[in-house]
Amino acid sequence: MKKADFILIACIVVVACIFIFVPAAGSCFNSMTASHPFIMSFIKFAILSTLGEMIGLRIKKGVYNEADFGILPRAVIWGALGVFISGAFIVFKAGTVSLYGAFGVTKASEWFAAGAPLTWGKVLVAFSVSVLCNTFFAPVFMTFHKISDTHIRATGGSLRGYFGTPMPVGKIIEGLDWHTQWNFVFKKTIPLFWYPMHTITFLLPANIQVLFAAFLGVALGVILAVANNRK
């Protein structure tokens, strides 16, 4: 292990201890999440998902940062994506319950209500939300993320370069590794990882669902590192 690894572990332990041993920290976090859900979504994803990509880089190349990696633009883009993900959760949770109602399953809203006990009905609805969200939203989100990642590196990893240079979306799409994107990222990680993990997400209390999803961004960084190594 390198010095940077110990520093990262120490930071994680310190933050964990603050939330474990300082009750006011947890209360403040929950209050901020309830009052400013989208701002908090931005912050959670900006920090945790960027950290996930840094860990992925550590797995691939042995370092947490490099010249064109672009930690700052990645954090900004992840924060923005976090806002969209938070909105998608709202849409797909409400839409899935309405879809069940359209098929005559009127108890779906009761099973999935906030604070409802854990039952097989609640698990079924949570799984359905996860399947619909990851089938219809995740591929678009993952593809945009890959396009954005490519543009960050092409513009030198700077925030000014990223936003100051037109993004050649068509050219980037033509150059994407669609074999890996389809056969690994879409076909394997979505049904085998994201379906079950987001089922767990939607079974959690509403105030920590986005936080848990942001933690999954760390897992995403590792998965993308594995996908790149498979090339």
pLDDT band, very low/low/confident/very high, at 230 (cuts 50, 70, 90): low
pLDDT band, very low/low/confident/very high, at 101 (cuts 50, 70, 90): very high
Supply the DSSP symbol for 204.
Answer: S
- The answer to whether the beta carbons of residues 179 and 51 sit under 8 Å apart is no
pLDDT band, very low/low/confident/very high, at 148 (cuts 50, 70, 90): very high
The first and second tokens of residue 70, run together, are 């672009």
- One-character DSSP codes across 88-122: HHHHHHHHHHHHHHHTT-TTHHHHTSTT----HHH
pLDDT, tens digit, 9 for 90 and up, residues 202-228: 999 988 898 898 888 777 767 766 666
C-alpha span between 143 and 131 (Å, rounded): 18
Please give the pLDDT value at position 41.
94
Residue 73 reports pLDDT greater than 70: yes
Cα angle value 125/139/71 (rounded, 5°): 110
The first and second tokens of residue 178, run together, are 């669609």
For 165, the 3-state DSSP assignment is: coil
Please give the pLDDT value at position 4.
86
Please give the pLDDT value at position 2.
83
Q: In the chain, where are the structural domains located?
A: 1-35, 37-229
pLDDT, tens digit, 9 for 90 and up, residues 79-100: 999 999 999 999 999 999 999 9
Please give the pLDDT value at position 100.
96
- The answer to whether the beta carbons of residues 76 and 152 sit under 8 Å apart is no
Question: 12 to each of 162, 182, 221, how far by Cα in Å?
Answer: 29, 34, 17
Helix (H) and strand (E) counts in the chain: 12, 0
Residue 43 reports pLDDT greater than 70: yes
Q: Rounded mean pLDDT of 185-207?
A: 92
With CA atoms as reference, report the closest residue to 80 among 31, 44, 129. Answer: 44
pLDDT band, very low/low/confident/very high, at 104 (cuts 50, 70, 90): very high
Please give the pLDDT value at position 113.
92
C-alpha span between 20 and 154 (Å, rounded): 41
Please give the pLDDT value at position 196.
95
User: Taken in order 179, 182, 188, 193, is the CA torsion positive or negative?
Assistant: positive
List, in order, residues 6 or more apart from 51 with CB less than 8 Å away: 217, 218, 221
pLDDT band, very low/low/confident/very high, at 19 (cuts 50, 70, 90): confident
